[in-house]
Amino acid sequence: MRIDFSNTTPRPQFQAVNQKYLKKAEEWYRRIGDIDSSWYESLCDDVILFKDVPKQDAIDTINVARKYVNEGSKKAYDTLLKNIKNA
């Protein structure tokens, strides 16, 4: 018996979330109810300056960590996402 895969829907793109940064975001959220600015700076540096974190991994991580950002920090969060996408 042959299985025809030509009519299957494409799988969703795999998200490569950086666990180090996700855990840091969770810790900050538990402690202060928001992600600290040092998290943003560190992630940006690791992506843009040091290239330790792949760009797509950072974008996926930022999107997952969105739930840990309070309303007052949304602007900084969106700026980080924009800067990494444009890097």
Model-level pTM greater than 0.75?
Answer: yes
Does 6 fall in a domain? no
Does 27 fall in a domain? yes
How would you label 32-59 residue by residue, b for 16+ Cβ within 10 Å and e otherwise?
Answer: eebbbeebbeebbebbeeeeebeeebbb
- Residues 24-82 pLDDT 10s: 999 999 999 999 999 999 999 999 999 999 999 999 999 999 999 999 899 989 999 99
Query: pLDDT tier at 87 (50, 70, 90 boundaries)?
Result: confident
Query: pLDDT tier at 13 (50, 70, 90 boundaries)?
Result: low
Does 4 fall in a domain? no
Selected residue with higher pLDDT from 14 and 43: 43
Q: How many domains does the chain have?
A: 1
Whole domain around residue 34: which residue ranges? 19-85
**The pLDDT of residue 19:** 94
